[in-house]
Structure 1
Amino acid sequence: MEVKIRRRSRVVLASSLSALSLLVYAYAQMQMRLPKVNVAVEASERGAIYAGDGSVLAQTLDGKRTYPQGQLAGQLLGMMGTDKGLEGIEQTYNATLASGEDVELTIDPTMQATAEAMLAKYVPEHQAEFGSVVAIETKTGRVLVSATYPPFEPGRWREFPSEVRRNRPFTDLFEPGSTVKALTVAAALNDHLITPDTTYSTPMTRPVPYQVGKRVAYKIIHDAVEHPGVLDTRHVLRYSSNVGMSHIVERFPKQAMFNYFQGYGFGQEVPLPDVFAQTGFMRNWKAWDALVQTNISFGQGVSCTPLQLALAYNVLANDGEYLPPRLIAGRSGPRPHRVLAKSTARVTREMLQAVIEEGIPRAAGIQGYKMGGKTGTAQAVVDGRYSHELYDSVFAGFFPADAPKVTMVVMVHGAKTKYHGSQLAAPIYRDVAAEAISRWALPPAPEPDTTR
């Protein structure tokens, strides 16, 4: 018993002397400015970044940050500096990852890889400068794809210029062109200003008035695709008629149309918590004249990112409801809001299905499946002016058209050959969709009954 007491006494004494020594040293350090003693603190390992299927996109092994999938979703992931994230998810969730917590993205790695492969095929073939694909799950808003070309490998980030590191689906602003026509038509349908069968006089050119000071001037708008001189609403979309669109918005109150575009997300901040995404631009309705309104109706004078355009098209795919995007699994964002009636969204989807089946079945269609969407070929804005040499090739759509699972936007900039949306962006949409349809084993649409 005495031995145990003596041992405890020694332990207590040693502890007391140790504590006293530290106090004395600390006091001496303050008084005499002695060198500080570095006490090693064991840091927790940086958390991993996972894809939606659980595959590892980024992890720390033996103190080194590695990216097992190479360049997959590189621009979205961003990169690490010496001890912290510098761009992308690595930067945005640096505090979370540094504390040892993992981050799971909603990205579908197989679909992401397919989108990157299609961009890597088509962008160089058409001698374009860059391209992007964004896809979202229609009913949830989950971002399945955020793909950019040229590719970027986070583990070798010092070898890549800053332009290549851009997460273009979230940050690149462009004028969406004729893809917007479907959104304008849907809004006019929703307010009962037109029907799918309303007809319009559609010569290939038409003067539209605009205000110059106190004087009214006119600008001639043109159609690019030859078509009949009278078109109904369905065929205004089918032939992508600017003249037809000018008729559709003639009786559309400016503020009402503006409110619909805001509901689609144009000119609004993207409701994506934490992650940076550009806002885009849309002029206030009070500054609209007839020409501005007409131009906006077919996608000029308004800018957005590929993500914003996909969210707008998802209103059509999701029966008229706007869904905020989701990128981080398990995190919810703002509540959705209704933009269109369900019946309006479904009628518009039927018209966009016809756009593909009657107009570009080979470019954007997949035999046996109902595909829906709209092309756009927009003049790029360079130094504040529309270029006659640089174009953005765009496609916005969803599949299957009768019960959409995925909404997708493709944008390719600066192609020097075959730059029209139907020639470049639409085939990328088709090929990415084909892979998903095959992998998910989606059944083909039933053949129509022709016996009745």
Structure 2
Amino acid sequence: MAFASLAVALAKLTTPPLPAPSRATPAVRGRLLSADGQILASGPLQQRQYPHGPLAAQVVGFVGASGGLEGIERGFNDRLERGERLTLTLDTRVQATVEQVLMDAIVRTEAQFASAIVMETRTGNLKAVASVPGFDPTTWQKAAPDRWRNRAMLDEYEPGSVVKALTVAALLNEGRTTPDTTYDTPMWRRYAGATINDIVPHPGRLKTRQILRYSSNVGMTRLVERVPPTVLHRYFTAYGFGQPVRLGLPAGDGLLRDPEDWDPLAQATMSFGQGLTVTTLQLVAAFNVIANSGRYLAPRLIVGAPVVSRTVLSEATAASLREMLHGVIDDGIKTKAELPGYHVGGKTGTAQVAVNGRYSSEVFSSTFGGFVPADRPLFTVAVMVRGAKREYQGSQLAAPIFRDVTSALLSLYAIRPEVEPRTTP
């Protein structure tokens, strides 16, 4: 018995003491990187850091005590909590340029807010997703909640005349017009019980390409007046209007009514961008169809995400539209939308904003959709500015933003100018 007690006592003496309690090691949270290798977010939840501050803040988002609260931090919270590293398709150089160009425009025109997206034409990769004014995610509590809003993906608005390019593309693809078909186009016309007006002075007869050049609403009524609503609705749907964009982040669907609800006036106004709504994300993806030889590419924000595509237009139709939209710029707003030695294609839009259920005579959305270079596009860009107090027309505001953004792209990616100037029929 004594021997047993002695053995127990010796065991107690030789057993090492338990370690003292220590502070819990913070759980590892995955990093967020950009495609150009920059760290956008790193560190554990309680000490999360955002080395680039406000850059792409609405996309990156921020965290709280329990996890991600906005942006990628929220949408991919589970994967980040497991320590997974995510690389975004964004290029921080492009993102920074786009944000600065937009902020300069807002300050100059006293606009309410703006958004723009740069998409890589052949891949669908989003190189910049900008919403301004922005905020610093390290001090997100100090910013007004509307600054957190990813307007480029969430805000839905009537796009205005940029949609004319997409309508004409659909009708060309269906064989219902040609670039040089001519129509009677007075400066105003009574149509379906309403008076349709044009703003830019133009000849009384216009070819289809000139309807785009002069942005003629009257011309658009001529183009669509005998077209079944199901035709245009099918193309708008194929462009992605009224459809969800699945990026792992909240995104607006936009409004596209069923064709059964279209009367002749509704079809006419939708053909020139009123009566339907889109997001800047949807707009850039739709214009990318023209840039990308007629194929829709689902936008991609995460490197390695699957490529989703579908054919919307024939290659010939897309090429024809690129040539026509190059003419729209060179024959109309050349110095406002492109740099000397380079050629772009695109279309402006200006739309009245509905305020308290009625179209305002003071609040407008200024839009632009386009691509660069015009012949073999590498990048597609969409721009929207809302509520500018001056220079609110798309040609005055959105087009120069496009020019400045594409200027940076041409420089960053060392795209050479064309040697010979082009001419448009």
TM over 0.5, yes or no?
A: yes
Amino acid at match of 1:283: R
Q: Which amino acid aligns with 1:164?
A: R
1:258-298 deviation per Cα after TM superposition (whole angstroms, max 9, x unaligned): 101100011111133x2211100011111111100000000
TM-score (norm 2): 0.93
Q: Deviations over 1:356-395 (max 9, x none)?
A: 1010011101111111100000001112221111000101
Q: Structure 2 vs 1, CA of residues 176 and 337 (structure 1 numbering), >3 Å: closer, same or farther? A: same
| Structure (1 or 2) with the larger CA radius of gyration | 1
Alignment-derived partner of residue 249 in structure 2: 275
Q: Does residue 252 of structure 1 match 2:235?
A: no
Shift, 1:40, TM fit:
6.9
Alpha-carbon distance between aligned partners in 2 of 1:63 and 1:219, rounded to the nearest angstrom: 60
In structure 2, the partner of 1:386 is 359
1:89-168 residue pairs with structure 2 within 5 A? 89-168=72-151
Structure 1 residue 427, shift from structure 2 partner: 0.6
**What CA deviation, in whole Å up to 9, does each residue of 1:101-142 have, x standing for no partner?**
211100011010000110111111011010011111100111
Structure 1 distance, partners of 2:422, 2:378, is 25
What is the TM-score when the length of structure 1 is the normalising length? 0.88
| Residue 205 (structure 1) aligned with residue 178 (structure 2) | no
Report the CA distance between 1:169 and its aligned residue: 0.5
Identity of aligned residues (%): 47
Q: Work out which of the residue numbers 385, 395, 400 in structure 2 matches 1:427.
A: 400
Residue 316 (structure 2) aligns with: 343
More displaced, 305-314 or 44-53?
44-53
Partner AA of 1:428 in structure 2 = I
Q: Write the distance in 2 (CA, Å) between the matches of 1:389 and 1:192.
A: 39
Counterpart of 1:266 (choices 224, 232, 241) is 241
Write the letter of the residue equivalent to 2:367: V
Please give the alpha-carbon distance, in whole angstroms, between the structure 2 residues aligned to 1:238 and 1:445: 23
Asked if 1 retains the 8 angstrom alpha-carbon contact of 2:27 and 2:45, the reply is no
Q: CA deviation at 1:47?
A: 1.3
Q: Is the 8 A contact 2:27 2:44 kept in 1?
A: no
In the other structure, the counterpart of 2:291 is 317
Partner residue of 2:329?
356
- Show CA shifts across 1:158-215 (max 9, x none): 1111111101100011001000000000000000000000001111111111xxxxxx
| Contact 2:29–2:44 under 8 Å retained in 1 | no
Q: Which is further off, 41-50 or 404-413?
A: 41-50
How much does 1:83 deviate?
3.5
**Mapped partners of 2:246, 2:197: distance in 1:** 36
Deviations along 1:405-445, whole A, 9 cap, x unmatched?
11111100000111000111111110011011012111111
User: Which residue, out of 175, 179, 197, partners 1:192?
Assistant: 175
Aligned to 1:181: 164
Query: Aligned partners of 2:148 and 2:167: how far apart in 1?
Result: 34
Hey, what does 1:297 align to over in structure 2? 271
Gaps of 5+ in 1: 1-5, 19-37, 210-217
| SS of aligned partner of 1:362 | helix
Give the match's secondary structure for 1:282: coil
Say how many residue pairs are matched. Answer: 412
Alignment of 1:56 with 2:39, yes or no, is yes
Task: State the secondary structure of the residue aligned to 1:72.
Answer: coil
Root-mean-square deviation (Å): 2.1
Which amino acid in the other structure matches residue 266 of structure 2?
Answer: V
Structure 2: which 5+ residue stretches go unaligned? 1-6
